[in-house]
Amino acid sequence: MNIEAIDGGHVTSPQGFSAGAVAASIKKRAGALDLGLLVSDRPAAAAGVFTQNLVRSAPVQVSEKRAHSGRLQGVVVNSGNANAPFDQKGIDDAELMAGMAARHAGCDEQLMAVASTGVTGVYLPLDKVEAGIPRIALSPNGGPDFALAIMTTDTKPKSYAVAVKEGATTVFTVGGCAKGSGMIHPNMATMLSYITTDANVDATLLKDLTKEVADTTYNMMTVDGDTSRSDTLLIFANGAAGGPAITRGSAQAETLRQALLAVGTELSRMLARDGEGASHLITVEVVNGPTLAHARNVARTVALSSLVKTAVTGNDPNWGRILVAAGRSGSPVEVAKTSVRLQDVLIFDTGRVIEFDETDVSKRMEEDEVRIQIDLGLGTHNATAWGCDLTTDYVHINADYRT
């Protein structure tokens, strides 16, 4: 079976999913889509990964409880207000919002997840939600609008889908969308991502795959240290593509795994590239780590380092900063065994300072994607992390929005 990217694919590309969105005036900007609904035409196997932050918004608490059952049929999302006053009224409002969406979609209330993103500390304008939901027209082509409605300060919507094919026949499809962090007064950064598939897969297998997708893609993506633990990822599998249930250990399970990872990887790269103020996507590939956990940890630490990020901003092939960030990661690093490549050029060789054409490498760093490759020489485990550079625009976006 082949996994092929679908040109213009989105979250409703898989069969049996529809979505829609309206401008409900929750966002300040007039006419902006800010209330979206994504539903399956039947209850779907579902699994979620939610923020590890102990300070959690009301919708996260409600959705996590509902996803725990392994079955969901849809999710309603508003942008412009995070419903995060951190009290019981927040929980009540999230449940009311989900209830309205369930009635509009004609599904069981307990199968409707809910999310809110935007301003923190202000109660949800429930009247606007109540007026908006009945106006949402659900359609199999509604994915792009849904992706727009969940955006906050994202500069572009993020959608991606792949078809799993046997020859010319599509066996099943995986689609997804995501939003990055948004900063309005006073706020809470949130990443939201929804992945759908019409594959026929039971909830237990889906749960394991969801965790793997989160660990391998979303949890390896960082814009600043503050957002990395506020992620919410929901995966819906409604089985609309038909066929027998995909069982653990089968070839189809492996293909589904790869298709989910492909969608998760691409959305994570889009999220990192559109990090606030970013001018470069930074890809950090760690190879030959002693364990997977250590390889991931080194990759993430380097991708999050302010000094590495600003070196990328300045197109500076600074192996010293890369090495020092790796060295403080808490994972084993032996300088004498470590090599560093930047844009595929070797700039530090197993502990030795080497000559390289700095002007040339600096020039290559002007590309949209800057690839940092670290060979730890300590084992066989590899990991990739995605981040973005740190520019003065990040500071402006987060410091100056009052003015």
Active-site positions? Answer: 190
Residues 6 or more apart whose Cβ sits within 8 Å of residue 38: 11, 12, 17, 18, 19, 74, 75, 76, 77, 142, 143, 146, 194, 196, 236
Residue 183 DSSP one-character state: -
- Helical residues (DSSP H) of 56-151, grouped into ranges: 58-67, 88-105, 126-132, 143-149
Q: Which is nearer to a second copy, 135 or 185 (CB)?
A: 185
Residue from 334, 357, 360, 367 in contact with a second copy (CB under 8 A): 334
Residue in this structure with the two tokens 């600096």, named with its chain if needed: 362
Residues in the chain, overall count: 403
Burial class (CB in 10 A: 0-12, 13-18, 19+), 110: middle
Stretch 205-244 residues interacting with a second copy (CB under 8 A) = 224-226, 229-230
Residue from 23, 126, 323, 345 in contact with a second copy (CB under 8 A): 323
Given the DSSP bridges, would you call strands 112-119 and 71-81 parallel, antiparallel or unpaired?
parallel
Under the binding rule (CB under 8 A), the answer on residue 399 touching a second copy is yes
Under the binding rule (CB under 8 A), the answer on residue 356 touching a second copy is no
Q: Which is nearer to a second copy, 72 or 84 (CB)?
A: 84
Distances (CA, A) of 94 to 37, 190, 366: 14, 16, 45
Q: How many CB atoms lie within 10 A of CB 153?
A: 20
Least Å distance between CB 229 and a second copy?
5
What does the per-residue mask of binding to a second copy show for 64-103, with x meaning CB under 8 A? --------------------xxxx----------------
The values of phi and psi at residue 196, to 5°, are: -120, 150
Under the binding rule (CB under 8 A), the answer on residue 314 touching a second copy is yes
Q: Which is nearer to a second copy, 1 or 324 (CB)?
A: 324
Residues 6 or more apart whose Cβ sits within 8 Å of residue 185: 119, 401, 402
- Candidates 1-9, 10-18, 153-161, 347-355: pick the segment binding a second copy (CB under 8 A): 347-355
Residue from 113, 115, 326, 340 in contact with a second copy (CB under 8 A): 326
Under the binding rule (CB under 8 A), the answer on residue 396 touching a second copy is yes
Q: How many CB atoms lie within 10 A of CB 366?
A: 11
- Candidates 72-80, 232-240, 255-263, 393-401: pick the segment binding a second copy (CB under 8 A): 393-401
Tokens for 303, please give them. 């991708």
Residue from 149, 319, 341, 373 in contact with a second copy (CB under 8 A): 319
Under the binding rule (CB under 8 A), the answer on residue 137 touching a second copy is no
Under the binding rule (CB under 8 A), the answer on residue 187 touching a second copy is yes
Q: How many CB atoms lie within 10 A of CB 162?
A: 25
Least Å distance between CB 333 and a second copy?
5
What does the binding site for a second copy look like in residue numbers (CB under 8 A)?
A: 52-56, 84-87, 120-122, 183, 185-189, 224-226, 229-230, 304-307, 310-311, 313-321, 323-328, 332-336, 351-353, 362, 389-392, 394-396, 398-403
